[in-house]
Amino acid sequence: MATILEIEDLSVHFPINIGTVCAVEGVDLQLEQGEVMGLVGESGCGKSTLGFSILRLLRPPGKIVGGQILYHGQDIVRMNEKEIISLRGNRIAMIFQDPLTSLNPLFRIDEQFIETILTHEQGLDKEEAFNRAEKMLENLGISPERLLEYPHQMSGGMRQRIMIGLGLILNPDLLIADEPTTSLDVIVEAQFLDLLNDLRRQYDLTILLITHNLGNVAQLADRITVMYGGTIAEIGPAEAIFQEPLHPYTQGLLSSIPNIKLDQPKLMTMPGSPPDLVNPPPGCVFHPRCSHTMDICRHEKPDVSKRDGHLVRCWLYR
């Protein structure tokens, strides 16, 4: 399998009044062609920041301060404005958490489709673009007449499907989905995940699914990356992560979700709170909350250890 996206030693900082928030620190991550990678972690762990950096959509004062992001071998971090714009929506698409607010309320759906299509394919005329939008809607199971409506006339689930349609209209090969189902109710969520699964095959998509919902990733993901405090704790095949989590944080995360299938004796909660990213704890960022803390954890950052396709950053597996 070919590597489509290769993130190396990426760091993203947000300088603010009281210091610098190290939102992402030295992250390495590879996405293989056609896979669904689940990126999980608590809110504030840097997973969304990582997603935004891939398209260089960080809001000021956020800034990529180091590392590279290779997309088909080209470094996105060093691209100029024109090059990065030609990737956005065209080769790499992104969909967001809240479909209710992610569509411009003052433009009809067809206008938003046509604008997106014509931005990247200047040769096309409006009518061709409109026809393409119609086909896309059909494909998404929405009646094409609704193209002439405004976003506020549609339901949440439908708007999220429109969002994904806008993302896929130019046949990108990579989709970054940032908490796509968080604001949808359970039934709509399930339908949406099914749709995502279909589209993935249809468009031969690679998906980076950013979520805090382990249920979502369990359904879709081939591999899972667990982030904690701006760093990667663990990467591994989905089954391995669920069956045999290595990092204490992943173990804690899994035992803190209620699960009717697993016969859990009791629901675990993790003590403590996510780390302060302005003054991160020395050594392993997780050590203040870890139940296996050793002396070395307090002083030195753990290296990556490899165990049959499973990467973990923890002193326990040295």
Partner 1 sequence: MGNLTRYVITRILLTIPMVFILLSIVFVVLRIMPGDPVSSMLGGHAPESVIEQKKEELGLNRPIAIQYLDYLWQICRLDLGESMVFKQRVTKAIIEKLPATIELTAFGMIITLFLGILMGAYAADKRRSAQDNLIRLYGIVIFCIPVYWLGLMLQLGFGVWLDILPIAGRTGPRVLASTFEKTGFYVLDTILAKDFFALGDVLIHLVLPSFTLGLVLSGIFVRLTRANMLDVLRADYIVAAEARGIQHRKIVYKYALKNAFIPILTMMGLQIALLMAGAILTETTFSWPGMGRLLLERIYLRDYPTLQGVIIVFALIVATVSLIVDIIYAIVDPRVRY
Task: List the structure tokens of 252.
Answer: 């804690």
82 or 261: CB nearest partner 1: 82
Distance CA 252, CA 258 (A): 12
Please give the size of the binding site for partner 1, defined by CB under 8 A. Answer: 33
Does 90 sit near partner 1 (CB under 8 A)?
Answer: yes
Does 97 sit near partner 1 (CB under 8 A)?
Answer: yes
Does 265 sit near partner 1 (CB under 8 A)?
Answer: no
7 or 164: CB nearest partner 1: 164
In angstroms, give the least distance from the CB of 101 to partner 1: 4
Placement of tokens 């979520």 in the chain: 211
Distance CA 217, CA 4 (A): 20
Binding piece for partner 1, criterion CB under 8 A, among 100-108, 267-275, 294-302, 307-315: 100-108
Which residue in the set 32, 98, 128, 222 belongs to the binding site for partner 1 (CB under 8 A)? 98
Please give the single-letter amino acid code of residue 147: L
Q: What is the dihedral of CA 282, 286, 288, 293, to 10 degrees?
A: -100
Q: Are 11 and 25 in contact (CB under 8 A)?
A: yes
Does 120 sit near partner 1 (CB under 8 A)?
Answer: yes
Distance CA 228, CA 314 (A): 12
Which residue in the set 13, 88, 223, 310 belongs to the binding site for partner 1 (CB under 8 A)? 88
Does 116 sit near partner 1 (CB under 8 A)?
Answer: yes
99 or 283: CB nearest partner 1: 99
106 or 187: CB nearest partner 1: 106
Closest of 31, 177, 214, 2 to residue 102, by C-alpha? 177
Which residue in the set 119, 139, 213, 255 belongs to the binding site for partner 1 (CB under 8 A)? 119
Does 106 sit near partner 1 (CB under 8 A)?
Answer: yes
Does 180 sit near partner 1 (CB under 8 A)?
Answer: no
- Contacting residues for 88 by C-beta, under 8 A, at least 6 apart: 55, 57, 94
Binding piece for partner 1, criterion CB under 8 A, among 103-111, 128-136, 239-247, 280-288: 103-111
Does 86 sit near partner 1 (CB under 8 A)?
Answer: yes
Alpha helices per DSSP H over 145-263: 156-168, 186-203, 214-220, 238-243, 248-255
Q: What is the dihedral of CA 42, 44, 45, 47, to 10 degrees?
A: 90
In angstroms, give the least distance from the CB of 46 to partner 1: 17
Task: List the structure tokens of 26.
Answer: 């030295």
31 or 253: CB nearest partner 1: 31
Placement of tokens 């403590």 in the chain: 272
Distance CA 312, CA 296 (A): 16
Does 166 sit near partner 1 (CB under 8 A)?
Answer: yes
Binding piece for partner 1, criterion CB under 8 A, among 105-113, 207-215, 236-244, 254-262: 105-113
Closest of 98, 106, 97, 94 to residue 152, by C-alpha? 106
* E strand segments, 17-145: 19-32, 36-40, 63-71, 74-75, 92-95
148 or 278: CB nearest partner 1: 148
Residues lying near partner 1 in the complex (CB under 8 A): 55, 57, 59-60, 81, 85-90, 93-98, 101-107, 115-116, 119-120, 150, 152, 163, 166-167
